[in-house]
Amino acid sequence: MFKNEEMEINLGPQHPSTHGVLRVKLRLDGETVKHCYPVIGYLHRGVEKICEDKTFFQGQVWTDRMDYVAAVSNNLGWAEAVEKLLGISVPRRAKYVRTLLTELNRISSHLLWLGTHAMDIGAMTVFLYAFREREEILDIFEAFCGARLTTTAFRIGGLRDDIPPGFEAKVRAFLDRFLPCIDEYEELLTENRIWKKRTIGVAPISAEDCIAMGVTGPVLRAAGVPYDIRKAAPYAAYDEMQFDIPTRMEADTFARYQVRLEEMKQSHRIAVQCMDGLPEGTVMAKLPKILKSEVNEVYHAIEAPKGELGYYLVGEKGGVNPYRFHVRGPSFVNLQALPMMTEGKLLADVIAAIGTLDVVLGEVDR
């Protein structure tokens, strides 16, 4: 007598909480998700093709705009990939400053994640508290390279300039102030009954499924697999740093929340070590004026805040541009796990799942 109809609904591309222009086609039976199909490409700008026409020096600018939240990480990956391709080694001081800035960027990316994820679930205030700290980090970036968001912070072979005067004081002031702020966020969320109900058991994905889909980053670590490229294949100055890899076993949204908070504390630890142990020396290697590549291909992966960020570069004989440039974007791969995490769950969980995967559409679409 009553027909049970499934409703096909579109979540976005314009939506307050799909972080960017993500479109998710959902088939709902009441509130339950029967089928979830992410549609991407709304932010595709052809970055990989464009970089085939740009020199190795110019290509870095486009990497800022991929994962625009964690631009410094992207810059680090590009610089190191090109240095690997061309066989350039970087002075130690430059490695330390690069590590410092990348860890600060990890903190700022996780702060943005925390703010937007909490706001999607309804706790509006955490967003502003997290951005208060993020503003300080963005001021630090601005002091170093002149830009807050699209930083282009590094150069092939090191850094453009040494750290400016007053930079160390700024960084130390932030690092001294930061750990109690994490406690403030935890006070608002971790023991909050409603937060726990919205995140424990929500959007789970097992470790086997993670590895099968290629999901990396905090999602994988919250499923129990202690895989972090900073430890597995160290780059920059990470082999000289002491830090832990936070893991959890529950593999749900609450576990990822805890893992990312813990990662912020570990990043803080690394940043303090960088500041304390900053070696003397130059910040730029001796390079020819025009960088030419050989017939060579390289894949260099770094641990971006969102997961394994891989750069695949192919050089040609005497070429000033890369022959082919491909990015293994962690958000792109992680997003493929979204149907697995949400089918059979409720609509509100889809929002939580998109938030907990920490997707940035610039990286998904490039």
Region of residue 304 (left: phi > 0; alpha: psi -120 to 50; beta: else): beta
For residue 316, CA distances in Å to 27, 46, 53, 295 come to 48, 21, 13, 4
Closest CB to another protein among residues 174, 311: 174
Measured CA to CA, the distance from residue 92 to residue 174 in angstroms comes to: 24
**Rounded (10°) CA dihedral 129, 134, 140, 146:** -130
In the complex, minimum distance from the CB of residue 290 to another protein, in angstroms, rounded to a whole number: 50
Q: Does 233 bind another protein (CB under 8 A)?
A: no
Residue among 253, 242, 280 nearest 195 (CA):
253
Site stretch for another protein (CB under 8 A), options 9-17, 50-58, 148-156, 254-262? 9-17
Order of strands, sheet of 23-29, starting from the edge strand that comes earlier in the sequence = 7-11, 23-29, 32-39
Site string for another protein, 331-360 (x = CB under 8 A): ---------------xxxx-x---------
Measured CA to CA, the distance from residue 338 to residue 47 in angstroms comes to: 24
Q: Choose which of 7, 173, 179, 212 interacts with another protein (CB under 8 A).
A: 7
Closest CB to another protein among residues 192, 296: 192
In the complex, minimum distance from the CB of residue 119 to another protein, in angstroms, rounded to a whole number: 6
How many chain residues bind another protein (CB under 8 A)?
30
In the complex, minimum distance from the CB of residue 121 to another protein, in angstroms, rounded to a whole number: 5
Q: Which residue has the tokens 């943005």?
A: 112
Contact 20, 7 (CB under 8 A): no
Closest CB to another protein among residues 6, 168: 6
Region of residue 301 (left: phi > 0; alpha: psi -120 to 50; beta: else): beta
Region of residue 355 (left: phi > 0; alpha: psi -120 to 50; beta: else): alpha
Dihedral (CA of 304, 306, 307, 308) sign: negative
Q: Choose which of 3, 4, 16, 249 interacts with another protein (CB under 8 A).
A: 16
Closest CB to another protein among residues 17, 296: 17
Q: Which residue has the tokens 């679409």?
A: 365
Closest CB to another protein among residues 121, 283: 121
Site string for another protein, 29-68 (x = CB under 8 A): --x-------------------------------------
Q: Write out the binding residues for another protein, residues 104-163 only, by CB under 8 A.
A: 118-125, 127-129, 132
Q: Choose which of 23, 134, 198, 268 interacts with another protein (CB under 8 A).
A: 198
Q: Write out the binding residues for another protein, residues 158-197 only, by CB under 8 A.
A: 188-189, 192, 194-195, 197
DSSP bridge pairs for 87 = none
In the complex, minimum distance from the CB of residue 203 to another protein, in angstroms, rounded to a whole number: 12
Closest CB to another protein among residues 88, 189: 189
Residues that bind another protein (CB under 8 A): 7, 9, 15-17, 31, 118-125, 127-129, 132, 188-189, 192, 194-195, 197-198, 346-349, 351
